[in-house]
Amino acid sequence: MPSDTPDPSELTPVEQRGLYFEEFDTSARYLHRPGRTVTEADNVFFTTLTMNSQALHLDRAWSERQEFGQRLVNSMFTLATMVGASVGQLTQGTIVANLGFESVVFPHPLYHGDTLYSETVVTAKRLSASRPGQGIVTLEHTGRNQDGIIVATAVRSVLVKCRDTSS
């Protein structure tokens, strides 16, 4: 090592993590980057892995004769990828539990070759009445394709740690 390089054991460790309850900002729009370009392989693998036999995801010839003229990306893949893109920035290591979804909407299809960009706004947050040191945060996730068209939205609630009780 060059002599001006510090000993790694002397450096301050920085670990990527999500936000503690106190850090969630209701005035922010969290942009989760990079986006995720969805391939045919992604769609076929996810669809068959989850035992979904829907021809709209698997049968090119049949899908070409349907309303959209091509196969659609499985909407559950879209949802999982949209929410998953938020983890590193919002909940990695600070989430206690995913409490549930209030709504999930797919206003426009996602196609093979589209890139999914995700973003999140915090619509509500409150301390838990029954779990000291934890809070409930309501997140509204939005997925857009490369043209900015909304392809999915989901409102979900998560239970997260408060800063002063983290370990």
The CATH number linked to 114 is 3.10.129.10
The domain of 154 spans 26-165
4 part of a folded domain: no
Residue 167: the pLDDT is 55
38 part of a folded domain: yes
Mind listing the pLDDT tens digit for each residue in 53-103? 999 999 999 999 999 999 999 999 999 999 999 999 999 999 999 999 999
Residue 2: the pLDDT is 58
User: Under a CB-based contact definition with an 8 Å cutoff, are residues 77 and 123 in contact?
Assistant: no
CA distance 41 to 49: 12
The pTM for the full model equals: 0.90
Give the number of domains in the chain.
1
